[in-house]
């Protein structure tokens, strides 16, 4: 297995993840020795920062909570400022397996964004009822826009190539579901190539995913609204180098 490029930055958006962040960082260091990790501390009120620094990561401290989208844009800006080519987004709650990172980065040779997809045949990630339907509908719509067959468009496990990093450092949306759906719509609109790699998802080390039907229905509604607005917005282009 080739070791990932040294110019790859792993970004972990973290909001009150003191319980899992050290373990996640330790595992990344074990599987991908020498890779640089950035924990974007999204206004946590617990010990996330201390745990992350002790585990050897760089910590970008946001002064208040901006949400996953806000944290990720800060991470992309950090990557641009410090000259990283690729950014891999991994959740700090331990549901993404860092062993998949090399497979994601390999695909960056022919794509700008590689999604670690949960329903592509590997693993036993279970979603049922309205939540599953929502994910299928959203995947179909995004597949159509990006002209690639995607099965999981709400995954937070993604690798971004240099063109995606440049685009997202300026235009990564902070709105609800912006970090997944709208980001993909923006990327497709800017002409980036999107692809996916099947990954196995693990149980979160802390916290619980929502599976209650009412919550799932609300999720479906909000996702559809978010998607419609994302599609209505004017297209964005990748900012030219040296504009900042």
> What SS3 class is residue 158?
strand
Structure tokens at 172: 């990564």
Cβ(58)–Cβ(90) below 8 Å: no
Nearest-CA neighbor of 227 among 192, 177, 188? 177
Closest separation in Å from C-beta 77 to another protein = 6
Residue 168 binds to another protein (criterion: CB under 8 A): no
* d(C-alpha 70, C-alpha 4), whole Å: 26
Compute the least distance from the CB of residue 197 to another protein, in Å.
24
User: Please, what is the minimum distance in Å from the beta carbon of residue 62 to another protein?
Assistant: 5
The residue (of 35 and 199) whose beta carbon lies closer to another protein is 35
Q: Is 214 in the site for another protein (CB under 8 A)?
A: no
Sheet bearing 86-89, strands edge to edge: 58-62, 36-42, 8-14, 86-89, 158-160, 113-117, 194-198
Contact 16, 44 (CB under 8 A): yes
Does 2 sit near another protein (CB under 8 A)?
no
Interaction between residue 78 and another protein (CB under 8 A)? yes
Contact between 34 and another protein (CB under 8 A)?
yes
Asked if 59 touches another protein (CB under 8 A), the answer is yes
Tell whether residue 36 is a contact of another protein (CB under 8 A). Answer: yes
Which of the stretches 64-72, 119-127, 204-212, 225-233 binds another protein when contact is defined by CB under 8 A? 64-72
Q: Measured from the CB of residue 98, what is the shortest distance to another protein in angstroms?
A: 16
Which residues sit opposite 37 in a β-bridge? 10
Q: Which helix (H) or strand (E) holds 195?
A: strand 194-198
Interface pattern 170-209 for another protein (x via CB under 8 A): ----x-----------------------------------
**Integer Cα distance of 188 and 236 in angstroms:** 10
SS3 state at 66: coil
For the chain, the straight-line distance linking the first and the last C-alpha, in angstroms and rounded, comes to 37
Residues interacting with another protein, by CB under 8 A? 6, 29, 33-34, 36-37, 40, 53, 56, 58-64, 66, 70, 73-74, 77-78, 81, 174
């Amino acid at each position: 297995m080739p070791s990932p490029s040294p110019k790859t930055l792993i970004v972990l958006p973290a909001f009150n993840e003191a319980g899992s962040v050290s373990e996640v960082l330790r595992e990344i260091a074990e599987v991908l020795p020498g890779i640089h990790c950035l924990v974007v501390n999204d206004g946590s009120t617990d010990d996330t920062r201390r745990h992350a620094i002790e585990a050897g990561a760089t910590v970008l401290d946001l002064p208040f909570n901006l949400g996953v989208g806000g944290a990720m844009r800060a991470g992309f800006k950090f990557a641009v400022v410090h000259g990283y080519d690729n950014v891999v987004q991994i959740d700090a709650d331990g549901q993404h397996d860092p062993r998949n990172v090399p497979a994601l980065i390999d695909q960056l040779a022919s794509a700008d964004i590689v999604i670690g997809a949960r329903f592509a045949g590997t693993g036993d990630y279970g979603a049922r009822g309205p939540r599953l339907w929502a994910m299928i509908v959203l995947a179909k719509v995004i597949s159509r826009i990006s002209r690639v067959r995607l099965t999981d468009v709400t995954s937070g496990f993604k690798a971004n190539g240099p063109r995606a990093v440049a685009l997202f450092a300026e235009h990564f949306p902070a709105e609800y579901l912006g970090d997944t759906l709208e980001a993909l719509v923006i990327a497709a609109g800017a002409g980036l190539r999107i692809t996916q790699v099947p990954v196995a998802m693990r149980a979160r080390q802390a916290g619980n995913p929502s599976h209650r039907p009412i919550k799932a229905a609300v999720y479906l509604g909000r996702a559809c609204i978010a998607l419609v607005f994302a599609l209505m917005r004017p297209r964005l282009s990748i900012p030219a180098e040296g504009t900042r």
